């Protein structure tokens, strides 16, 4: 009898536990029911474009040149892909009845290890599937990939949230991808002659038309927005929009810089978001526990369970022509933990942009759902000019390793593999929405050139890509005519298409340097680096009214070692020393970090007064000198510090010695013993009688083993 009571009691407890779990976590809603929970800007409507079972666990979407939709499905999430049991798929969605919605779904490729991103190229698809980037093709028209080529290999292949992803075709013909700064040694079967590439600390970019690949600056995670002028904005969980104004190739002109961070958080509205969905039970419990720990340790930290960005994903630039003008040029970012879509308006007042909320979205989001299963993992702009939302639609969207074991007991992370939605957002008013079937593959070369002036970025980029793939020299005359088009976007597309066809010449670059639009001038500055004769024009553009043009000019002038460039860089740092991006720009150049730079600055007004930015520049400059560890350079720098132009303010001397000692300690260029001039100049500084100076002189001696 007692045993029966025990069994009954156990059954009651189990039943109660199941009932409690049901209360903790809601069940899935149908697409129609979920749509009713959307609180969307009143100017727009939203409708399902594709839903389960035609698409499952989607994380990326791209339209090919015929308007077919390819969707990446991440069936392995949230676990690491298991060799022999890879669940990554690519789904091909086709609209065969011309109603604007796909009615056929094909598994184009399967058995992929956590594929994350897809991009069309030469009748195939480039796919990020760590550790590889692949090229898949359907060669027999059965809607299934039967050709697989490894383009690059060696990428980080563990956590699927931090793998190579978010490929975007840039206006400069490079394909950019986020790498989360993960370590990896990249090789390419296309270039067996190329040395292995270490991508640790950066993102990645490549050109298939020229078989080039290299590291790019930044540490973007899932989401890469590229505007019409090639500026990159990337997403990283809590930091929903960042930028790296300086490219990797400039940051690594020499190897002596102190540690730096090129990422800039450009949001002016912190981490706050306006969530409408309930807080998941596990998240509230975890946050409460963490907060209790912080409070007991008196750290002053605050742990937020909701209303703050924690799962920002899929940042996407809207370059379409279907939305009202006020929304064009915005960047839309999904927030999978907050079940919402956030919009940023981008403005420019310095080297890095500023991302702000729209004036009428100060207390709300572009879209917020009360359905906690809504997971807007990614977005894309389509050929019809509308915005598509990739909704992974799942009950839980967190890596299990970050959730306490007791909270995972009633969480089924595989309870949602059978769901997936793609939504289409379009304006309520205006022209009637009609299905769009691009059929770009059938266009002639002349027709493709004409499409470079299309108002929708999707058409322009895809037309440019096809022209680059075709390498049809007959396009050159028409492209040159297009460089005079009234639309500056068309002019820039024409310039870079000519560049890919090896038909961009010096007169065209000179013309672009004087373009009325800043976006064209900015790229002309980059292209002008190949022509030393344009240095005077580049120096003038360092004072351009556009912050982006002026900053790019400072980077490009740093490519030259002429006296004129050195003087220009010295003037630039005097003007912009308090801007971290400019300090990095000048110091990353060989001219800007040369011994001649310090002597030139001492003859000007730089050292007459100090500011926090000037002090930081001087310390980092001295660090570079110490890191190079050239005896003659160190001796000269110490002698310069004793010059009245600098020594009148002991803070300059202390700061210089501090940077110098740090650089020497980190230097790989070790010296057996310093020159006599070094010791003599150190004694001269020490004799000035300042305790702070003497302390730093001792540090330099220690670093030099004196």
| pLDDT tier at 8, thresholds 50, 70, 90 | very low
Question: Is 584 a residue whose pLDDT tops 70?
Answer: yes
Bridge partners, residue 242, by sequence: 234, 265
pLDDT given for residue 669 in this prediction: 83
| pLDDT tier at 436, thresholds 50, 70, 90 | confident
Pick from 145, 333, 354: which is nearest to 245 by CA? 354
- The span from the CA of 170 to the CA of 209, in Å, is 13
> What average pLDDT does this structure show over 264-273?
94
> What average pLDDT does this structure show over 256-264?
94
What is the rounded average pLDDT for all residues in the chain?
94
pLDDT given for residue 433 in this prediction: 72
* 679-700 pLDDT tens trace: 899 999 988 878 999 999 999 9
Report residue 291: phi and psi, to 5°: -65, -40
pLDDT given for residue 416 in this prediction: 83
Q: Cβ(313)–Cβ(378) under 8 Å?
A: yes
Q: Higher confidence at residue 631 or residue 466? A: 466
Q: Cβ(406)–Cβ(428) under 8 Å?
A: no
Question: Is 22 a residue whose pLDDT tops 70?
Answer: no
> What average pLDDT does this structure show over 73-84?
88
Helix H or strand E encompassing 313: strand 312-317
Q: Which of 251-265, 418-432, 613-627 has the lowest mean pLDDT?
A: 418-432
Q: Which of 56-70, 328-342, 682-696 has the lowest mean pLDDT?
A: 682-696
pLDDT given for residue 114 in this prediction: 84
> What is residue 480's DSSP assignment?
H
Question: Is 301 a residue whose pLDDT tops 60?
Answer: yes
* 185-204 pLDDT tens trace: 999 999 999 999 999 999 99
* 39-52 pLDDT tens trace: 999 999 999 999 99
| pLDDT tier at 84, thresholds 50, 70, 90 | confident
- The span from the CA of 175 to the CA of 126, in Å, is 10
Question: Is 10 a residue whose pLDDT tops 50?
Answer: no
Question: Is 181 a residue whose pLDDT tops 90?
Answer: yes
| pLDDT tier at 1, thresholds 50, 70, 90 | very low
Residue bearing tokens 């389960």: 52
Pick from 268, 270, 243: which is nearest to 580 by CA? 243
Pick from 248, 193, 196: which is nearest to 219 by CA? 248
* 153-167 pLDDT tens trace: 999 998 888 999 999
* 491-509 pLDDT tens trace: 999 999 999 999 999 999 9
pTM of this prediction? 0.94
Diameter over CA atoms, the chain: 100
| Rounded (10°) angle between helices 563-576 and 580-588 | 160
Cα–chain center distance at 523: 19
> What is residue 111's DSSP assignment?
E
* 351-379 pLDDT tens trace: 999 999 999 999 999 999 999 999 999 99
* 602-637 pLDDT tens trace: 999 999 999 999 999 999 999 999 999 998 999 999
Return the structure tokens found at 334: 């999904």
| pLDDT tier at 23, thresholds 50, 70, 90 | confident
Complete edge-to-edge strand list for the sheet that includes strand 376-381: 44-51, 421-427, 387-391, 376-381
* 106-138 pLDDT tens trace: 999 999 998 999 999 999 999 999 999 999 999
Return the structure tokens found at 183: 């370590």
- The span from the CA of 241 to the CA of 238, in Å, is 9
> What is residue 629's DSSP assignment?
T
Q: For residues 190, 196, 199 and 200, what is the CA-based torsion angle, rounded to 10 degrees?
A: 160
Cα–chain center distance at 48: 29
Question: Is 70 a residue whose pLDDT tops 60?
Answer: yes
């Amino acid at each position: 009898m007692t045993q029966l009571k025990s069994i009954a009691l156990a059954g009651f407890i189990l039943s109660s536990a199941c009932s409690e779990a049901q209360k903790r976590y809601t069940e899935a809603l149908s697409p129609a029911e979920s749509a009713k929970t959307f609180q969307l800007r009143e100017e727009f409507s939203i409708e399902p474009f594709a839903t389960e079972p035609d698409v499952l666990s989607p994380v990326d979407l791209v339209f090919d040149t015929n308007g077919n939709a390819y969707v990446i499905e991440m069936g392995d999430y949230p676990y690491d892909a298991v060799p022999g049991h890879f669940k990554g798929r690519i789904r091909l969605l086709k609209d065969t009845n011309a109603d604007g919605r796909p009615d056929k779904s094909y598994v184009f490729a399967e058995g992929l290890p956590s594929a994350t991103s897809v991009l069309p190229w030469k009748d195939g698809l480039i796919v990020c599937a760590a550790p590889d980037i692949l090229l898949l093709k359907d060669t027999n028209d059965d809607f299934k990939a039967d050709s697989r080529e490894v383009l690059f290999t060696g990428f980080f292949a563990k956590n699927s949230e931090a793998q190579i992803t978010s490929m975007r075709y840039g206006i400069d013909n490079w394909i950019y991808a986020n790498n989360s700064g993960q370590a990896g040694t990249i090789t390419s079967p296309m270039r067996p002659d190329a040395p292995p590439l270490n991508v640790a600390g950066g993102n990645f970019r490549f050109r298939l038309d020229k078989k080039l690949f290299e590291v790019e600056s930044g540490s973007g995670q899932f989401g890469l927005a590229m505007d019409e002028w090639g500026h990159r904005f990337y997403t990283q969980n809590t930091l929903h929009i960042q930028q790296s104004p300086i490219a990797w190739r400039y940051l690594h002109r020499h190897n002596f810089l102190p540690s730096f961070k090129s990422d800039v958080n450009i949001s002016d509205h912190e981490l706050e978001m306006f969530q409408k969905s309930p807080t998941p039970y596990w998240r509230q419990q975890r946050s409460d526990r963490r907060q209790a720990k912080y409070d007991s340790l008196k750290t002053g930290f605050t742990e937020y369970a909701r209303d703050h960005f924690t799962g920002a994903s899929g940042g996407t630039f809207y370059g379409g022509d279907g939305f009202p003008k006020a929304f064009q040029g915005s960047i839309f970012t999904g927030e999978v933990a907050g079940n919402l879509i956030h919009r940023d308006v981008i403005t420019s007042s310095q080297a890095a942009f500023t991302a702000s909320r729209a004036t009428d979205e100060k207390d709300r989001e572009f879209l917020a759902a009360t359905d906690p299963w809504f997971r807007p993992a990614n977005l894309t702009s389509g050929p019809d000019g509308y915005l598509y939302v990739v909704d992974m639609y799942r009950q839980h969207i967190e890596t299990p390793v970050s959730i306490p074991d007791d909270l995972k007991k009633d969480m089924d992370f595989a309870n949602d593999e059978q769901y997936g939605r793609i939504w289409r957002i379009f304006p309520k008013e205006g022209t009637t929405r009609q299905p769009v079937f691009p059929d770009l593959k059938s266009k002639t070369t002349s027709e493709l050139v004409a499409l470079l002036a299309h108002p929708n970025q999707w058409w322009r980029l895809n037309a440019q890509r096809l022209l680059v793939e075709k390498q049809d020299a007959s396009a050159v005359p028409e492209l040159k005519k297009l460089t005079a088009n009234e639309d500056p976007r068309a002019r820039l597309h024409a310039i870079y298409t000519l560049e890919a066809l090896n038909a961009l010449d010096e007169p065209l670059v000179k013309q672009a340097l004087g373009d009325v639009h800043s976006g064209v001038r900015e790229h002309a500055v980059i292209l002008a680096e190949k022509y030393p004769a344009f240095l005077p024009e580049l120096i003038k553009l360092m004072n351009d009214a556009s912050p982006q043009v002026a900053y790019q000019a400072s980077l490009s002038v740093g490519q030259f070692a002429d006296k004129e460039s050195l003087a220009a860089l010295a003037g630039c740092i005097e003007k912009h020393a308090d801007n971290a991006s400019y300090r990095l720009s000048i110091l990353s150049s060989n001219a800007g970090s040369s011994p001649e730079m310090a002597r030139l600055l001492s003859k000007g007004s730089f050292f007459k007064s100090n500011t926090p930015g000037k002090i930081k520049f001087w310390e980092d400059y001295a660090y570079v000198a110490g890191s190079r560890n050239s005896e003659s350079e160190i001796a000269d720098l110490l002698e310069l510090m004793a010059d009245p132009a600098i020594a009148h303010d002991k803070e300059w001397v202390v700061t210089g010695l501090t940077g110098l000692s740090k650089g020497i300690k980190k230097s790989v260029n070790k010296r057996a013993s310093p020159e006599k001039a070094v010791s003599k100049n150190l004694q001269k500084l020490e004799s000035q009688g300042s305790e702070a100076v003497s302390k730093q002189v001792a540090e330099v001696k220690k670093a030099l083993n004196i």
